[in-house]
Amino acid sequence: MNIKPLADRVVIKKLEAEETTKSGIVLTGTAKERPQEAKVVAVGPGAMVDGNRVEMEVKVGDKVLYSKYAGTEVKVKGEEYTILKQDDILAIVE
Amino acid sequence: MNIKPLADRVVIKKLEAEETTKSGIVLTGTAKERPQEAKVVAVGPGAMVDGNRVEMEVKVGDKVLYSKYAGTEVKVKGEEYTILKQDDILAIVE
Amino acid sequence: MNIKPLADRVVIKKLEAEETTKSGIVLTGTAKERPQEAKVVAVGPGAMVDGNRVEMEVKVGDKVLYSKYAGTEVKVKGEEYTILKQDDILAIVE
Amino acid sequence: MNIKPLADRVVIKKLEAEETTKSGIVLTGTAKERPQEAKVVAVGPGAMVDGNRVEMEVKVGDKVLYSKYAGTEVKVKGEEYTILKQDDILAIVE
Amino acid sequence: MNIKPLADRVVIKKLEAEETTKSGIVLTGTAKERPQEAKVVAVGPGAMVDGNRVEMEVKVGDKVLYSKYAGTEVKVKGEEYTILKQDDILAIVE
Amino acid sequence: MNIKPLADRVVIKKLEAEETTKSGIVLTGTAKERPQEAKVVAVGPGAMVDGNRVEMEVKVGDKVLYSKYAGTEVKVKGEEYTILKQDDILAIVE
Amino acid sequence: MNIKPLADRVVIKKLEAEETTKSGIVLTGTAKERPQEAKVVAVGPGAMVDGNRVEMEVKVGDKVLYSKYAGTEVKVKGEEYTILKQDDILAIVE
């Protein structure tokens, strides 16, 4: 991965919607209502506040939920990514 | 519960409207005017302010009232949750 | 009262409009122009500012004037309350 | 006066427009273009900033000019008042 | 002048447009495009920031340029003034 | 130049669009797409932040690029100037 | 390059869209969906915060991704540049 986000930004890659519901039924087709899940592929060095770096809370590889519409979509070498501020990440899914 | 909210975020699960009014009458059907009550299922580590964590005021299991429209609804493994900032929680109901 | 507001929030209960004008005339009916008066029923612990609690200025039992449209109306066990930030309370009426 | 404004709020009572112009002519009737003058009837304890009270600059009895549309109009025991933040008071007229 | 502006407010009196252009030609009539020039007639004590007064930069008698639409127009004893924050004054003209 | 801008304001004078492109071709007429270039004619003493003056980064004589629509246009003794905050100056052109 | 951006501003030059996709296919023509890539041509000295310069994170020569619509386009000697705040730069592409 050759994108280095600045400050408190994070680069994520949207995950394909998982095909299995809680009850174990496998869904196919297009009519699926899903959260915005993504995988963290790059993490900035953290914002500067009063001369100190604020350590980031997410790390590369984390699976996260994020605000729909947050961030900017970019396409680098044919791959689509979203670059957003860590504050637009709602939670880490484990 | 496998969602770890970031910073001062909280994950809540909407409660089914209680079926009993103050006078003890049991309501059935759909025409009920209700507050937004929910149960806290996960609590973030707290926001960072000037390099210190601000301790959270709610804890897992609390029953809370929250601002309608606050937060983001997500669906993880078929279950619906709302992720919001603690500041959007109005009060704890005991 | 079993609602514990968070931070600098206050729970109030709207007062019925008083029926007596300055001149002592008793008004009846619906055509009355009135301020938004309420009684404080619960008070939060105060906001955290730089790691310190800011003490609240209102207390349970105070009769207050508040900004129309301020706060969120909730219904708990059939009773209607308004939860607002202390800053939306204009004055205490004695 | 039994209204105790909170923080940096002030309670004022609109003054009747004075009937005399600079040239000494007495105006009667309704077609008069006038500033928003009022008398201060109650003063809050001052806002809290970083744990200290900020002393108020106006006092009860001051005649003040204030921003039209500022504040909230309330009616207490048949009398109309305006409650506004001191910052919405432009000047003291002596 | 009997208006005492609060905090960092300034009372100014609009100047009649000067009748002479750079080239010395005297303009008469109404079709003149002019800046907003005014004379300072009263100066507040300065804003309070962190418990200290911020000294004012303009003084009574200064001729100033100010943002059109800034401030509030008031009429005191038949005279029109504008009360604005010092920050709405662009420059002092000497 | 007899305009003394306050705080972090700067007075600039729009430059006539240069008539020569990179390739050396001289353009005449009106159909020219140009940046907003100007010459600094007066510089304020700098904004006050926490009781200290913030030194200005531009000086009289600098040729600058600035945000279109930024600032206020004034006419003093027949000459047109723009007064803007230093923060609306994008860059110095050398 | 003779543009010296102020504070935390950066001057960038939009890059021509690269003609090669991930799979190595060379695209020609106009129907290409591309991120906003640019090359940094000048970097400001950094913003002043509480009397200290905040060091810049990008340097001349960096290839960056930036928010579409961010910044101001200028034309100097026939060349087009964009001047934006470093905070509008999303990431460095290596």
Please state the three-class secondary structure of chain C as a single string.
CCEEECCCEEEEEECCCCCECCCCCECCCCCCCCCCEEEEEEECCCCEECCEECCCCCCCCCEEEECCCCCEEEEECCEEEEEEEHHHEEEEEC
The per-residue pLDDT of chain D, averaged, comes to 81
Chain D adjacent subunits, 3+ CB pairs under 8 A: C, E
CATH superfamily of B9-17+34-93: GroES chaperonin (2.30.33.40)
Q: Which residues of D touch E48 (CB under 8 A)?
A: 54
Nearest Cα residue to C55 out of C45, C65, C67, C41? C45
Tell me the C-alpha to C-alpha distance, in Å, between residue G72 and each of A89, F36, G55: 29, 11, 22
Residues of G with CB under 8 A from a CB of A: 21-23, 33-36, 49-50, 52, 54, 57-58, 65, 67-68, 86-87, 89-94
Residue G77 to residue F35, Cβ atoms within 8 A: no
Q: F9-14 and C63-66: which strand pairing?
A: unpaired
Say whether pLDDT at G83 is over 90. Answer: yes
Of E4, E75, E77, the CB nearest to D92: E4
Chain centroid offset of residue G47 CA: 18
A41 in the Ramachandran plot: left (φ > 0), alpha (ψ -120 to 50) or beta? Answer: alpha
Chain F adjacent subunits, 3+ CB pairs under 8 A: E, G
G interface mutation test: which of A6, A8, A13, A81 has the most G CBs within 10 A? A6
The per-residue pLDDT of chain A, averaged, comes to 81
Here the tokens at position E16 are: 């009649």
E30: confidence class by pLDDT, cuts 50, 70, 90: very low
Say whether pLDDT at G18 is over 70. Answer: no
Of E4, E7, E79, the CB nearest to D94: E4
Nearest chain F alpha carbon to E58: F6
Report pLDDT digits (tens) over B4-62.
999 999 999 998 765 555 555 554 444 344 457 899 999 999 988 877 888 999 999 99
Of B22, B65, B92, the CB nearest to C74: B65
Tell me the C-alpha to C-alpha distance, in Å, between residue E40 and each of D61, E48, E71: 27, 21, 13
Distance spanning both ends of chain E, measured CA to CA: 23
What ranges do the domains of chain B cover? Answer: 9-17+34-93
CB neighbour list of residue B49: distance below 8 Å, 6 or more residues apart: C50, C51
DSSP string, G51-71: TEEPPPS--TT-EEEE-TT-S
> Is there an interface between G and B (3+ Cβ pairs < 8 A)?
no
Determine the distance in angstroms separating the CA of F54 from the nearest CA of chain E, rounded to an integer.
Answer: 14
Tell me the C-alpha to C-alpha distance, in Å, between residue E86 and each of D51, D90, F44: 27, 12, 14
Residue B35 to residue C6, Cβ atoms within 8 A: no
Q: Which residues of D touch C46 (CB under 8 A)?
A: none
Determine the distance in angstroms separating the CA of G17 from the nearest CA of chain A, rounded to an integer.
Answer: 11
Determine the distance in angstroms separating the CA of F94 from the nearest CA of chain G, rounded to an integer.
Answer: 5
CA dihedral over D56, D60, D63, D67, signed as positive or negative:
positive
User: What was the pLDDT predicted at E11?
Assistant: 96
Determine the distance in angstroms separating the CA of B64 from the nearest CA of chain C, rounded to an integer.
Answer: 9
- Kindly tell me the burial class for residue F62, based on how many C-beta atoms sit within 10 Å of its own C-beta (0-12, 13-18, 19 or more): buried
CA distance G46 to G49: 9
CB neighbour list of residue D15: distance below 8 Å, 6 or more residues apart: D37, D38, D39, D63
More confident residue, G51 or A84: A84
Q: Locate tokens 């208006």: which residue?
A: E3
User: What was the pLDDT predicted at B35?
Assistant: 54
Determine the distance in angstroms separating the CA of D33 from the nearest CA of chain C, rounded to an integer.
Answer: 27
Residue F7 to residue E57, Cβ atoms within 8 A: yes
CATH superfamily of C9-16+34-93: GroES chaperonin (2.30.33.40)
Backbone angles phi, psi at A78, to 5 degrees: 85, -5
Report pLDDT digits (tens) over D52-75.
888 999 999 999 999 877 888 887
G interface mutation test: which of F65, F68, F88 has the most G CBs within 10 A? F65
User: What was the pLDDT predicted at C53?
Assistant: 85
Q: How many CB pairs under 8 A join B and C?
A: 57
User: What was the pLDDT predicted at B79?
Assistant: 86
CATH of domain F9-18+31-93: 2.30.33.40
Report pLDDT digits (tens) over C47-71.
888 778 889 999 999 999 998 778 8
> Is there an interface between B and A (3+ Cβ pairs < 8 A)?
yes
CA distance C39 to C12: 5
CB atoms within 10 A of CB G58: 17
Q: Locate tokens 């008398």: which residue?
A: D39
- Kindly tell me the burial class for residue F13, based on how many C-beta atoms sit within 10 Å of its own C-beta (0-12, 13-18, 19 or more): middle
Nearest chain B alpha carbon to C47: B87
CB neighbour list of residue B61: distance below 8 Å, 6 or more residues apart: B39, B40
What angle (nearest 5°) sits at the alpha carbon of residue D92, between those of residues D5 and D21? 125
Residue E87 to residue F3, Cβ atoms within 8 A: no
CA distance F4 to E10: 17
Backbone angles phi, psi at B61, to 5 degrees: 105, -20
CA distance F88 to F34: 18
- Give F22's DSSP letter: T
Options 2.40.160.20, 2.30.33.40, 3.40.50.1820, 3.30.70.260; CATH of D9-17+32-93 = 2.30.33.40
Determine the distance in angstroms separating the CA of G9 from the nearest CA of chain A, rounded to an integer.
Answer: 14
CA distance B89 to B71: 10
Q: What percent of chain C has pLDDT over 70?
A: 79
CB neighbour list of residue F31: distance below 8 Å, 6 or more residues apart: none
3-state secondary structure of E7: coil
Of C7, C75, C77, the CB nearest to B33: C75
C20: confidence class by pLDDT, cuts 50, 70, 90: low
Nearest chain D alpha carbon to E80: D35
Instruction: Provide the residue type at F76 as one letter.
Output: V
Residue E90 to residue F77, Cβ atoms within 8 A: no
Length of chain G: 94
Q: What percent of chain A has pLDDT over 90?
A: 45
Here the tokens at position F58 are: 């531009």
G25: confidence class by pLDDT, cuts 50, 70, 90: low
User: What was the pLDDT predicted at B1?
Assistant: 59
Say whether pLDDT at F56 is over 90. Answer: yes
Contact between A12 and A38 under an 8 Å Cβ cutoff? The reply is yes
Residues of F with CB under 8 A from a CB of E: 2-7, 9, 11, 42, 44-45, 48, 50-51, 72, 74-79, 83
Residue G42 to residue F91, Cβ atoms within 8 A: yes
CA distance F28 to F21: 11
Chain B adjacent subunits, 3+ CB pairs under 8 A: A, C
Report pLDDT digits (tens) over F18-44.
555 555 555 444 434 445 789 999 999
Backbone angles phi, psi at D91, to 5 degrees: -165, 160
Contact between F4 and F41 under an 8 Å Cβ cutoff? The reply is no
Radius of gyration in angstroms for the set of CA atoms belonging to chain E, rounded to a whole number = 15
Determine the distance in angstroms separating the CA of B1 from the nearest CA of chain C, rounded to an integer.
Answer: 24
Q: What is the third-level CATH fold of G9-18+29-93?
A: 10 Kd Chaperonin, Protein Cpn10; Chain O (2.30.33)
CB neighbour list of residue C48: distance below 8 Å, 6 or more residues apart: B54, C7, C54
3-state secondary structure of B72: strand
Determine the distance in angstroms separating the CA of B62 from the nearest CA of chain C, rounded to an integer.
Answer: 11
Here the tokens at position B44 are: 């973030």
